[in-house]
Structure 1
Amino acid sequence: MRIIRPKPDRELVNLTPLIDIVFNLLIFFMLTGSITAAEALSIDPASSTSRMRGNVEETVVLVDAEGRIALGERIVSRKELPGIIRETLTADPGALIQLKPDGEADAAQVIDIMEGIREGGAEYIVLLTMQRSARAVS
């Protein structure tokens, strides 16, 4: 007489280690990833040898290589710029206006935009650039 052994049920796979690894990867990428505010224009800022003075979160005017202007997440025209700056300064008289031009932007366009900001009533304009390394300067 032959004994027939019953086939064992399929073993269940333990998913706990896999879930642990997935959560560890999720936490790792959340901590190491950079979180930045969305900007209406993608620009590559000009470089400078001076250091950054501080981390001031104020009104930022972006200028791309084609001369398009963005304020916050909104693209504006050169004609609209003084009025928007005036509204900003009316709401907050001590507001600091920051200009962040693309490194490839035409200097004449950047100067024209600075004049538009001045027409809006801004006394001071901060020109935002990326700090150039010491090697690149020499």
Structure 2
Amino acid sequence: MFTNVRMKKKPAFMIIPMIDIIFFLLVFFMMNSLQTVAQKALSVQLPQAQSASAPVQMPIILTVDAEGHITMDNRPVSFDEASERMKRHMAENANAAVILQADRRTAHGQVVAVMDMLKSAGVKRLAIAAEQKG
């Protein structure tokens, strides 16, 4: 008199595999967006308009390492060469932004000298790079 009673299981909602899939898709799209390359456009003559805006320029990155060596856009330069290049660049684009990355071990006087050089070159938009305290 044993009856064949099948236990009916309710479908279970498995969240762990769903989280794994979501993270996989997130990583896939992040890596895909990092790999995108700007496509080269055909050379065309664009029409003029009064409301057109100038393209946004990337900031100039000026790095001062612990020994006081200056690197400008990943190219080592002397202090005088950096000054001349900044003056030329600021003459072409007065609203250019400069990011100053100075090593924490750099002498304070060296950083002040570089900031003074940037000011005399006409830099109005200066940002000093720092890491967020964690």
Structure-2-length-normalised TM-score: 0.55
Superposition pairs of residues 73-112 of structure 1, within 5 angstroms: 73-112=74-113
**AA of the residue aligned to 1:31:** M
Are the equivalent residues in 1 in contact too, given 2:95–2:125 (CA < 8 A)?
no
Alignment of 1:121-136 (within 5 A): 121-133=122-134
Runs of 5+ in structure 1 lacking a partner? Answer: 1-27, 36-55, 134-138
Query: Secondary structure at the residue paired with 1:67?
Result: coil
Q: Partners of 1:109 and 1:121 in 2: how far apart? A: 19
In the alignment, the residues of structure 2 paired with residue 106 and residue 68 of structure 1 have an alpha-carbon distance, to the nearest angstrom, of 11
CA distance in 1, matches of 2:122, 2:75: 20
- Structure 2: gaps spanning 5 or more residues: 1-27, 36-56
Aligned residue identity for 1:128? A
Length, aligned pairs only = 85
SS in 1 for 2:80: coil
Written as runs of structure 1 = structure 2, the 5 A alignment for 1:48-87 is 57-87=58-88
Distance of 2:88 and 2:74 partners within structure 1: 16
Could you say what secondary structure the match of 1:85 adopts?
A: helix
Q: Alignment RMSD, CA only?
A: 2.5
Bigger relative contact order (CA 8 A; separation at least 6):
1
Q: Give 1:99 deviation, angstroms.
A: 0.5
